[in-house]
Structure 1
């Protein structure tokens, strides 16, 4: 049995990408030279156990630099004492152009348009071997002497993991953030980062470092894309029609109020715009939102249940004779012609006191409410007794 006195691997003859190479011989002698090239590491294996690891450089094998092997087989000292072991050369360069893609489409319901899509995703990723002992032990196994493993072993093993996680991440991401497929391109970078964090842990379990992970495209069949675009155009048309409808409807209401300021006219106008809101609800969310903007935040009661003025903040005079309403500031009732009394009669001289005045301009008597001397409640100036406690004022 000839002993090997020089251990080295310069890579494949034609420069093909390689990942792990098992040296063909297993019988070595103390004093042999181990030459490890740049971007390589050499790992000694014995009995299925990963032992001593050497980085780039030239080494003379001896018990001093083979501590784990020495401990396992109790190497004797001196000379060219033979020993047997397996030597694996590991390529430490980064490989950044590995491809991935979902093998089969996966169903996702578009959150905005409710269409069930058949989604596929594609991209690339980069790796390097971070822990040679773990990688060779868990992924290479008992390789034959002189055999070489390429990066295909990583692509084949992690293909299933990548497919499973990508389907889960893309589906959840679209649904959680309510992103339509038509918008997904905008979120490709963020999706790639989420996938990197989710997948990296699985790579680390096998001594592989995931350097990057990119989603290059997320696509669906052409007919699904056409269907989504049609729905988007129809929704845009409805929004435009809804906005125009409510603009016209609001003008109609205002015209009716101007033509007939009485309660009956306002109630009919309110009924009209109420019908408009029902039609808008059927047209979509944009109709409802626009309708909400048109409705007053504080409707004015009109004396009939279910109806309110659509003119927010419009003040009106009510006729004491017929009960009908006229615009604020009117001198006569628009329904019966009764003259409005502009002001509050003074309790002393009956002179009309303008709104907001605290004293009568004719006799100087205080007008409005005053404080009860007994309980502190407000008492009209004309009252002789407190309506709360009965105290004479």
Structure 2
């Protein structure tokens, strides 16, 4: 085979690692390395040397290890076989990533599992050519942006799932609220993935989450959105779920007669506590509950002459101040007519009442 006199890069600009197609080299061959590149000479599966930007002659003066791996004939020149890898160390800032299938994540706020999709972009550049070549490239001839995405797909999908789950749990937010925290999540994920990339000789210069979405037709998503919509409606009206159920209990008790006064009283107290005026509101509903007839109507009531508290018509004592509500009545001894106050004559028969036993 023809021995290469000049070796130079002929790969695409989006390639991280490119293997020169020929392996027949000589101690007189010229190796041309462009700016933001390094060339790695590999002999027998081991790295022989690394060359920075410039033009280099592959002789024993520049590569002392050649003295051990080749036999120099007379004249000091000799052909030899070796691989030349070009490593582009420029910055690549728009490598796309995305989850190929939805990831199941438990919503830390509501406890249900929801499928999510996510996508974005990241930027990297090679910091250690030898580590990058030996750990990632191995036997491939070309290692480009598409290869990076495929190679690290399982890594970022796993890390995205773990990172989002831990972030949501730490911040105590719902999956449906995540897009408001995109920037924070992006930074959080970069800090998580960066140490792993360093193990392969790469620096993660940026990591962006463009979108975190949920399938609109998923049953769990529909159920959660319906619940959140209901909660928002309650907040606008000014009461919560417990208070709504209390209203339902009162309504059923009054309209259908299918609950006792005790349960209605409890509902009233619940409403009072919910609105922050527990005692006053609770007492009002308790009074209402006492007056509810189990057959669906209301009992007759009266008011205490001492404190004004409303009590049942047949109550003997006030439930608020304890005053006696049934006074001793006077009757005319002759005709039995009920008397009021200190009347001296019966208004019915005219009998004189003074001195009479009443």
| TM over 0.5, shorter chain | yes
Paired residues, what number?
A: 268
| 2:231 is the counterpart of 1:211 | no
Quote the residue 1:42 is aligned against. 39
Corresponding residue number in structure 1 for 2:11: 11
Residue 103 (structure 2) aligned to one of 100, 106, 111? 106
Partner of 1:22: 19
The equivalent of 1:195 in structure 2 is 189
Aligned to 1:276: 268
* Partner Cα separation in structure 1 for residue 88 and residue 47 of structure 2: 16
- Shift of the 97–277 alpha-carbon distance from structure 1 to 2, 3 Å rule, reads farther
Distance apart, 1:45 and its partner CA: 0.2
Once residues 161 and 171 of structure 1 are traced to their aligned partners in structure 2, the CA distance between those partners, rounded to angstroms, is 15
Judging changes above 3 Å, is the alpha-carbon distance between structure 1 residues 37 and 324 closer, same or farther for their aligned structure 2 residues?
closer
- CA drift of 1:221 comes to 1.0
The match for 1:236 among 232, 236, 250 is: 232
Q: Is the 8 A contact 1:48 1:137 kept in 2?
A: no
Maintained 8 Å contact 1:18/1:151: yes
Return the match for 2:179 from 148, 162, 185: 185
The alignment partner of 2:5 has SS state of strand
Residues of 2 paired with 1:277 and 1:74: CA distance? Answer: 96
The reply on whether 1:138 has 2:135 as its aligned counterpart is yes
Tell whether the 8 Å contact from 1:42 to 1:53 is kept in structure 2 after alignment: yes
How far is the alpha carbon of 1:176 from its aligned partner? 3.3
- Residue 76 of structure 1 and its aligned partner are, at CA, apart by 4.7
How large is the RMSD of aligned CA atoms in angstroms?
3.5
Equivalents in 2 of 1:193, 1:173: separation in Å? 11
Deviations 1:253-301, CA, capped at 9 Å, x for gaps: xxxxxxxxxxxxxxxxxx99864343x4xxxxxx96x45x4358xxxxx
Shift of 1:72: 4.9
> Could you tell me which residue of structure 2 aligns to residue 294 of structure 1?
277
In the aligned structure 1, how far is the partner of 2:16 from the partner of 2:92? 10
What is the DSSP-based 3-state SS (H/G/I as helix, E as strand, rest coil) of the residue aligned with 1:190?
helix
1:330 aligns to what? none
Q: Identify if the C-alpha distance between structure 1 residues 223 and 28 changes in structure 2 by more than 3 Å, giving closer, same or farther.
A: closer
TM alignment of 1:253-264, pairs within 5 A: none
Question: Which digits, 9 at most, give the CA deviation of each residue in 1:315-340, with x for residues without a partner?
Answer: x9xxxxx99999xxxxxxx999xxxx
Residues 324 and 335, structure 1, Cα contact 8 Å, conserved in 2: no
Aligned partners of 2:7, 2:198: CA distance in 1, in Å?
Answer: 30
| Offset, 1:17 | 2.5
Taking structure 2 as the reference length, the TM-score comes to: 0.64
Structure 1: any 5+ residue segments left out of the alignment?
A: 250-270, 281-286, 297-315, 317-321, 327-333, 337-393
Q: Are the counterparts in 1 of residues 25 and 82 from structure 2 also a CA contact under 8 Å?
A: yes
Kept in 2, the 8 Å contact 1:29–1:83? The answer is yes
Superposed displacement of residue 48, structure 1: 0.9
- Cα distance in 2, alignment partners of residues 114 and 158 from structure 1: 30
The aligned runs of 1:241-252 (5 Å cut-off) are 241-242=238-239
Distance 1:114 1:137, change over 3 A: closer
> Is the 2:164–2:185 Cα contact (8 Å) retained in structure 1?
yes
Specify the alignment match of 2:167 in structure 1: 173
* Change beyond 3 A, Cα 1:75–1:123: farther
Cα drift, residue 215 of structure 1:
1.0
Return the alpha-carbon distance in structure 2 between the equivalents of residues 194 and 231 of structure 1: 30
Residue of structure 1 equivalent to 2:215: 221
What is the SS of the residue equivalent to 2:61? helix
CA distance in 2, matches of 1:18, 1:323: 92
User: In structure 2, what is the equivalent of residue 63 of structure 1?
Assistant: 60
* Deviation readout 1:37-75 (Å, 9 max, x if unpaired): 1222110001111221111111223323224x3365267
Within 2, Cα distance between the matches of 1:324 and 1:121?
A: 64
